[in-house]
Amino acid sequence: MSFSLLLISTIFIGFLSYYVWIWSYWIRKGVKGPRGIPFSGIMHRFQDYDYPFWRVMMDWTKEYGPIYGITEGVEKTLVVSDPEFVHEVFVTQFDNFYGRKLNPLQGDPNKNKRAHLVSTQGHRWERLRTLSSPTFSNKNLKKIMKTVDDSVAELMRHLEKGCAGGKTVDMLEYYQEFTIDIIGKIAMGQTQSLMFENPMLPKVKSIFVDGRKHAFFASAMFPFLGAMLRQIFSMFPSIQPASDIMNIIEKAVKARIDQRKTDEKLGIEVSGEPQDFIDLFLDARADVDFFEQEAKDDFGKTQITKVDKHLTFDETVGQLFVFLLAGYDTTALSLSYSSFLLATHPEVQRKCQEEVDRECSDPEVTFDHLSKLKYMDWVIKEALRFYPLASIVHNRKCMKATTVCGVEIEEGTNVQVDTWTMHKDPNIWGDDVNEFKPERWESGDEQFIQKGGYLPFGMGPRICIGMRLALMEEKMLLTQILKKYTFETTSETVIPLKLVGRSTTAPSSVNLKLRPRHSD
């Protein structure tokens, strides 16, 4: 046998052995679970758009119980649906689980200069979170309200036309136009509503609908491919909607910086009031002492070489990009599920309308009005219990070996929550778990949230930062719709909803009729 043949055979056997070693991780640990096949693990089972990953996990949970192990390419993951375990990982032991499960295609969270809140970890995440949190303060949300209100009015005009003559409309499409309109105006420099002609929508939709399925799959098995593909995508933005969107945001941020410089040169007095998220991020600053203090702690591996109290240009672009992705689809889906459940539960809808009539009789809806819409709040919460649409991100990476509820977890292991099982667990919710019952929220959230059994927005220090904005948008729009219309199902409504998706979980459609209330 020639030397080169021997070398090739040795490399090949070494390569195979490496993948068999990873694949057999849970077998060696004595943890039960579906085994899949070397290289892919079980990842090929998570690729079906019509039978989303969470359905597969629910099936496995029935077979293997509340804690089991899977391998996903080179990643090892514990799938859990035990609330105590989840609470321990997300809240109590956050210091050991401060990272997220990432695909190499998302870049190295410690090196990627455009890394954002969703992907960063340790000190870098903490710094971004501190700088971004004020964006969602009451003061800033109140400023954004005017923008949201304009989009509500614009959507109502479109709805009026769309549902004229008792026509059935797909509410999902309307809600997507609504949420992209708002996020376009607050995060991308869009100056006016572009509903039903927004060039951004097809680009953003394509990320959620087809994603980069094959690229993600290949990168999870062969991480070096992730870095190569990222490079290729950034060179050819037209084949990769995410890079294309990033370029548009980059131009918007540059334009704002230039405008500020020009105003300064011309001595134009600027009000100092931020117009949108771009302004808020350009002006964001944090107390330097805070970071110097934190840098001394043993929290996170990210090396801080320079303590910067401002967001860099690239961080600003990265943040705006993630706000667009995280804020558009999720909020539109949450609105769609609530509307569907209202249409299929007329008694609940009637109570919601009574509340709206009582608390929001003025044409203008204010921040204070929204805080009085308690029943609507329960409706949205209960809809998110039924459909925890963002469950794919309910995960953490173990950054320091530890033991959780008696299970030893090695550094680098992921914990993925099987949220759909937990949200339908009679031990947590009672025997009426399958009933859509907003009243179950009457005694407050704490009983469910503290136990770790409810997490549509996640849990602990990394809980969704945009939650309050999402709820504000949803309540403002639902208020105006319910004042004017009653949702009804028609022969075109798919019941039960057909749920699809690879990242977030979407209904295939939410076809409803909007009956004008003056005809009641």
Q: How far apart are CA 459 and CA 382, in angstroms?
A: 17
Q: How far apart are CA 76 and CA 21, in angstroms?
A: 11
Q: How far is the CB of 514 from ligand HEM (least distance, A)?
A: 22
Is 352 marked as a binding-site residue? no
> Are the C-beta atoms of residues 355 and 346 closer than 8 Å to each other?
no
Q: How far apart are CA 268 and CA 120, in angstroms?
A: 38
Q: How far apart are CA 250 and CA 114, in angstroms?
A: 11
Which residue's CB is nearer to ligand HEM, number 241 or number 460?
Answer: 460
> Are the C-beta atoms of residues 208 and 329 closer than 8 Å to each other?
yes
Q: How far is the CB of 370 from ligand HEM (least distance, A)?
A: 15
Q: How far is the CB of 342 from ligand HEM (least distance, A)?
A: 16
Q: Apex CA 120: angle with CA 208 and CA 470, to 5°?
A: 50
Q: How far is the CB of 242 from ligand HEM (least distance, A)?
A: 15
* DSSP β-ladder status, 407-409 and 168-170: unpaired
Which residue's CB is nearer to ligand HEM, number 187 or number 365?
Answer: 187
User: Other C-beta atoms within 10 Å of 286: how many?
Assistant: 20
Which residue's CB is nearer to ligand HEM, number 118 or number 172?
Answer: 118
Q: How far is the CB of 375 from ligand HEM (least distance, A)?
A: 18
**Which chain residues interact with ligand HEM by CB under 6 A?**
117-118, 129, 322-323, 326-327, 330-331, 334, 389-390, 393-394, 456-459, 462-466, 469-470
In this structure, what are the phi and psi dihedrals at residue 292, rounded to the nearest 5 degrees? -65, -40
Which residues does 421 contact at the CB level (< 8 Å), separation at least 6? 57, 58, 61, 81
Report CA-CA distances (Å) from 123 to 300, 310, 414, 476. 6, 14, 20, 36
Q: How far is the CB of 269 from ligand HEM (least distance, A)?
A: 30
Specify the residue for token string 């977890």.
Answer: 409
Which residue's CB is nearer to ligand HEM, number 25 or number 454?
Answer: 454
In this structure, what are the phi and psi dihedrals at residue 486, rounded to the nearest 5 degrees? -120, 130
Query: Binding site for heme: which residues?
Result: 464
